[in-house]
A and B are shown apart, each in its own frame.
Chain A
């Protein structure tokens, strides 16, 4: 059974801080790892990392995949109050495009 563990469960930082969110996984025949941001309702897609793309960057957000150690990190630099959300990590294995999600990290950015 595929498994995703995220840490920390929650985090409170001040605006301008840099944060690192962690995601470790166990999956049969790894295909990809995805990060989502969930603010109020719908999770919104951030990054997808695969064997052929182990590092992604978009503005202040970046993510790295370590396939050997089976983990990924999501970095957010110069945090803003708008970054406050639950960040979800998910993995997919071979044979299926369904995603197994972790329980998320709740990030709170205070002014």
Chain B
């Protein structure tokens, strides 16, 4: 168990809908990362937050947004969902002092 908690584990929804994925980092970690994993693309970096502020942005679509709250948990919002958004979404956390990331178990999103 990495200590990173993600909910829900599975999510099934329809095209055009909006969903929110939640992540609680390891105790003491200030940095949260979101990654998307699909079969053909592998793990793709979406966005990073550090102590409530956006630190880096990767290949995140404009339909997606994220935030990190004062208690350090983070949410990833996905809107106007398309079939191609079906993937495994991971949250990872780190202390912020190095690049060793600890991953949650992921949220499997299926858009039908």
Interface string of B29-52 (1 = CB under 8 A from A): 001010100000111110010000
- A contacts with B, residue count (CB < 8 A): 22
**Residues of A81-111 contacting chain B, CB below 8 A:** 88, 90, 92, 96-104
Knowing A98-B48, A98-B58, the reply to whether A42 touches B43 (Cβ < 8 A) is no
Residues in A with CB closer than 8 Å to B98 are 32, 48, 97
Question: Which residue of the partner chain A has the closest CB to B88?
Answer: A41
| A-binding segment of B11-19, B68-76, B77-85, B101-109 | B101-109
Say yes or no: B99 contacts A99, CB within 8 Å: yes
Size band of the B side of the interface? 20 to 34
In the complex the two chains form, what is the Cα distance from A102 to B4 in whole Å? 22
Residues in B with CB closer than 8 Å to A100 are 45
Residues in B with CB closer than 8 Å to A98 are 33, 45, 48, 56, 58, 99
What are 19 of the A-B contact pairs (CB < 8 Å)? A32-B98, A36-B103, A41-B88, A42-B103, A43-B43, A43-B90, A43-B103, A44-B103, A45-B101, A48-B98, A88-B42, A96-B55, A97-B94, A98-B45, A98-B48, A100-B45, A101-B35, A101-B44, A102-B42
A-side residues, CB < 8 A to B, are 31-32, 34, 36, 41-45, 48, 88, 90, 92, 96-104
